[in-house]
Every structure is written in C-alpha cells, then in structure tokens.
Amino acid sequence: MNYIVFDLEWNQSPLGKKDKNQRIPFEIIEIGAVKLNSDRQQTDSFHRIIRPQVYTWIHDSIHEVTHIDYKDLLDGVTFPQAAREFLEWCGTDYVFCTWGNQDLTELQRNLKYYDMLCLLPGPVYYYDAQKLFSWFHEHKKQRRGLEYAVDTLGLKKDRCFHRAEEDAEYTAEVFRRLDEEEIRPYFSVDVYQNPRKKREEIHISYPFYDKYVSREFRDREKIMKDREVTSTRCPACRLPAKRKLRWFMNNNSRVYESISLCPEHGYVKGKIRIRKTDGGSYYAVKTIKNVDEKKAEEIRNKRDSLRKKRK
Ligand SMILES: [Zn+2]
C-alpha cells in the first residue's frame, strides 16, 4: 500500500462575500503530492497548476500567503483534467495523508462542483499528519503550523512554504518521522460525503475512544431524540453505560456532552457534534471515551455553571 501525501492551494472570491459562489467557496489552483511506499520512502511526485474557472483574480490574502499571481495560472490545466490525472496517478491501493483536515473536504467539494465526485467515493479515510504530530510529539491537542513542525523536528528548510509541492514534501517529511506502529490505528475519516442511510452509518473503534457518524436528518430537532445517536456504550466493554448526566448543550449550540457510568470501567464521557451538510441536512458525530472521576466532575460543574448562566 502507498501513502499519497498531498497539499492544495486554493483561491477564494477576490471581492469577498458578494461574489462568492456558494457551491465552490474555495477554488483549487494547485495540487502537489508525493507517493510513499509502505516503508514511507518517496517513489514518485505529482504537481499541477490549475487555471481557475470561477474566480478570475487572486484574493489579496491568498496572494500574500502563496505569492501566486493570476498570470502564474494561465498556463495551468483545468481542474477536471488535473483532478483526473491526480486520482489516476494515486493508483488503487493507497491511503491519503494531509496536513490538517481541510484539503480532503475542498478536494471533494471541487470535484462535486464539476460533477466528478464519483471518482473519489466517500467516506474518505486518511492520516491527518497535523493531528498526529500534536498528539505524539507534543501530547497536546493544539494544532500547529507545518513550519512549526518542521522546526521542531529539526528538518531541512531549503524550500518555501505555502506552495502545494513544497508543503506536500514537508508534510511527508514530518509524517515519516511519526512512529508507524503508534499512529497506525489513528486514521481520520472525512465525511464530506456523509452517511445518508442507517446502513451507511460509521462506527470506528480507536484504542482510547469510539467514534460514530450518524445518517442524515432533515430536521435538526430529531437528532438528539434518536436512540443510536444518544446511546453511550462503554468503549472498553461495549455494554451500555448508565447515564449519570443527561446530554446537555455545551456553550456552543452544536455540541452536546454527557457522562455515564460503566460498573466495570468507570466513567464514560460522550460528546456529540451536530454538523450541517452542503445540502442543508444535519448529522451527528459522536465520540465516546472512558474518563476518570475528576474529568466527570469537571463536566458536571460545567453543566451546572451553564444552567446558572442561562437562568
Ligand atoms: Zn465497560
């Protein structure tokens, strides 16, 4: 199996919101990728400049970061051609790796805009090198910039940042330095192509937590009434844990939390994030984790102080 480490640069409406095309808020203008074999040695690379079709001028903030000028793109190929060539180049036996969780979503959104999403069926599984770097190099959840990771690991910094080819290479360098055995179970899943039906729902069991992605709901109110969405099975033994603190809305109206108790494995924390699809439907992403008493107490206190505030 190969790893396809890729990076995209994209443009946005140069005139801001009023000329934004909702179906393609970010138009991809460059794809850079490297192919690594199963030993994570580089075997090939891919690069395409893309001539934009939607936004015909580079937004100032994009120009500032990438230094890409509109005339740099005039010799590029169209997105449909670049995407087709890219996915062909990927082959059949591979897993993606990116810095952060945005690139896969934007790739799919651009494919959808050109009616080509069938070339990349979802959900898409990948390794998020940015997340894995924070987890295993910093023991923190905070996301860091690519340059920060390159500096921290003392890697050679002889190319620029914020261009697709270079960033893909830097990402591959960082990815290669993560312990393969350690990171292997922690693949991410991009649900831009979210489950529609019950049988498409996603259940993933990671070493320290469980993740679930629900089907789509037209009506937001129905989500928190669904039994599967709100169930809290203990990740360690899979048995239902008894609810100790009912699901409550966090500060943010799209996040709910709860605490349950497994007689065998102690407290179980539940977190549900409500997400909206491009089509205006909703789905839930739930994570369930075993936690200690201190953490359980912390969540109870949070609920209590939120209640007080609302009164
Ligand atoms: Zn248990």
Residue 240 CA to ligand 1 center (angstroms) comes to 8
Question: How confident is the model at residue 236, as a pLDDT?
Answer: 95
Confidence of residue 57 (pLDDT cuts 50, 70, 90): confident
DSSP string, 78-102: PHHHHHHHHHHHH-SSEEEEESSSH
Q: Could you tell me the residue ranges of all domains in the chain?
A: 2-183, 196-310
Residue 235 CA to ligand 1 center (angstroms) comes to 7
Pair of tokens at residue 251: 């500060």
Question: How confident is the model at residue 32, as a pLDDT?
Answer: 97
Does 141 have pLDDT greater than 80?
no
**Rg of the chain (C-alpha set):** 21
Whole-structure pTM value: 0.91
Residue 25 CA to ligand 1 center (angstroms) comes to 44
Local structure of 146: helix, strand or coil: helix
Which residues line ion ligand 1, judged by CB < 5 Å? 234, 236-237, 262, 264-265
- Average pLDDT (173-189) is 95
Does 152 have pLDDT greater than 90?
yes
Confidence of residue 78 (pLDDT cuts 50, 70, 90): very high
Q: Could you give the percent of the chain with pLDDT greater than 90?
A: 82
* Burial (0-12, 13-18, 19+ Cβ within 10 Å), 1: exposed
Question: How confident is the model at residue 66, as a pLDDT?
Answer: 80
Place of tokens 């953490």: 295
Second CATH level (architecture) for the domain 2-183:
2-Layer Sandwich (3.30)
Inter-CA distances, 172 with 133, 182, 236, 310, Å: 12, 17, 33, 47
- State the pairing for strand pair 202-205/209-213: antiparallel
Beta strands in 37-74 (DSSP E): 42-49
